[in-house]
Amino acid sequence: MRRVSFALGVISWVCLMVSVSGIGANWGTQSSHPLPPTAVVQMLKENGFQKVKLFDAEEGTMSALRKSGLQVMVGLPNDMLATLATSMKAANNWVATNVSAYLNDGVDIRYVAVGNEPFLQTYNGSFLQTTFPALQNIQGALIKAGLGNRVKATVPLNADVYNSPTGRPSDGDFRADIRDFMLPIVKFLNDNGAAFTVNIYPFISLYTDSNFPVDYAFFEGSSSGVVDGSVTYSNMFDANLDTLLWALKKNGFPSLPVIVGEIGWPTDGDMNANVQLAQKFNQGFMNHISTGQGTPMRSGLIDAYLFSLIDEDEKSIQPGNFERHWGVYTYDGWPKYQLNLGTTRTGTLARVKNIQYLDKQWCVLKPSVNLENSKLAATISYACANADCTSLGYKTSCGDLDVRGNISYAFNSYYQKNDQDEVACGFENMATITNKDPSTGTCRFGIMIIADSGISWRIRHWGASLLSFVILPLFLTLL
């Protein structure tokens, strides 16, 4: 009896571990102060992530992934598509440097992401002509390098490349204006045993359409579901993915594998972006895919990468202020909310360890400054343009600050981003440094981390003087 229950325990534990076979994370690095890649990889492993998706092939990141056991989708940015489309030599070089060399060194590369959402409508068709030839050249280079069976090329596309005129998934097809560009790509992916990669964003639907039914974005059932023949869709994710699966089927590719390249919810910068909704969405998604039921069109496990791992303070906010807040983790490596990935025994997220911070001090508006001061507006604009004010505004994490709080927030953001350089807390003599934390409620006045490694920060900080007065003489003495 004891043995039976022990065996059952082991079995259920094993089931828990494998039920989500492979959740991945998008690891972007558009940050002023990136976390040390080795510490991030350690955190990924502790949390049982099996895969990472990158947007480039930056050396520090790639090196940290050596012998990590993590599967890697390495990326090449849109601005390289034109070169790779026209030059087989450039494609061979890219694969030699950014795939073969790392593979030989123990980085488990499985996919190359050719471009990132190159057909997005905001790009005005700039990459329409180059995406397919670049995909062909990269796959060709992989085959030439003897990696044809091991590494596949794919193109992460936004879900806006397909639609359904009626809203019913079964009426799905590729968008009329790009259908002629999509079909050869889909056929090529199919011929090469690769997968279609799609990024799906219920948050954006809610952000762009105020009439979008909120509960349809989540996974807890919705009264405003979509009825499609005998199927009723109660969440947008299933309906969206099935619209793609119908489009693929209709065009002759009923079994092409699909990877969900990005899925997630931001935590700040918009009224619908907060930790409660992000937790609800991501946990709902994890629970949904852990059933292994798939969608009405395709049962089975769903291969997906959460978007994203860590906040990035240098992302463009052209799409919206939420853009810098997609991370499950803060810029300094703390999980923002609890998320059970179903990959560990504890079911809790581990933080990034051994992070070093700058001093416990903040830059704030001097209490004596008159708010009528004519120079204030310009200093705030300057601070916000060069640092990050996306947590200010209606129903954001710092939305309850008063005018003075707003100004202090902007000043501090600029000061921290500039490594607490005293000069960066000048602002026409209207700012001052304090060691009293100005944070309130949900509004966090951050302290910057020491970027990447202590050594690089120190060298940057003391710069030339350290080099010329300490290191160089020491070096010469040793010689």
Ligand X SMILES: *[C@@H]1O[C@H](CO)[C@@H](O)[C@H](O)[C@H]1NC(C)=O
Looking at the Cβ atoms of 20 and 138, the one nearer to ligand X is: 138
Residue with tokens 């490596």: 333
Report the alpha-carbon distance of residue 134 to residue 181 in Å, rounded. Answer: 13
191 binds ligand X (CB under 6 A): no
Report the alpha-carbon distance of residue 250 to residue 163 in Å, rounded. Answer: 13
Active site residues: 117, 262
DSSP for residue 467 = I
CB of 101 to ligand X, least distance (A): 10
Residue 337: both structure tokens together: 């909310």
Alpha carbon 23 to its chain's center: 14
CA atoms within 13 A on the CB side of 356: 11
403 binds ligand X (CB under 6 A): yes
56 binds ligand X (CB under 6 A): yes
Among 46, 58, 171, 452, binds ligand X (CB under 6 A): 58
CB of 69 to ligand X, least distance (A): 23
Strand pairing class (152-154; 156-158): unpaired
Report the alpha-carbon distance of residue 15 to residue 309 in Å, rounded. Answer: 25
Closest to 415 measured CA to CA, from 399, 431, 435: 431
- Number of residues counted as binding ligand X (CB under 6 A): 15
What are phi and psi for residue 473, nearest 5 degrees? -60, -40
Segment near ligand X (CB under 6 A); pick from 53-61, 177-185, 197-205, 209-217: 53-61
Q: Per-residue x/- mask for ligand X, residues 102 to 131, rule CB under 6 A?
A: ---------------------xx-x-----
Residue 287: both structure tokens together: 């629970």
Looking at the Cβ atoms of 389 and 424, the one nearer to ligand X is: 389
Report the alpha-carbon distance of residue 167 to residue 164 in Å, rounded. Answer: 5
What are phi and psi for residue 157, nearest 5 degrees? -120, 150
Q: Per-residue x/- mask for ligand X, residues 293 to 312, rule CB under 6 A?
A: --------------------
Report the alpha-carbon distance of residue 273 to residue 278 in Å, rounded. Answer: 7
Segment near ligand X (CB under 6 A); pick from 55-63, 131-139, 170-178, 350-358: 55-63
Among 44, 392, 430, 450, binds ligand X (CB under 6 A): 392
CB of 282 to ligand X, least distance (A): 27
Looking at the Cβ atoms of 20 and 57, the one nearer to ligand X is: 57
Looking at the Cβ atoms of 274 and 406, the one nearer to ligand X is: 406
93 binds ligand X (CB under 6 A): yes
Binding footprint of ligand X on the chain (CB under 6 A):
56-58, 93-94, 97-98, 123-124, 126, 392-393, 402-403, 406
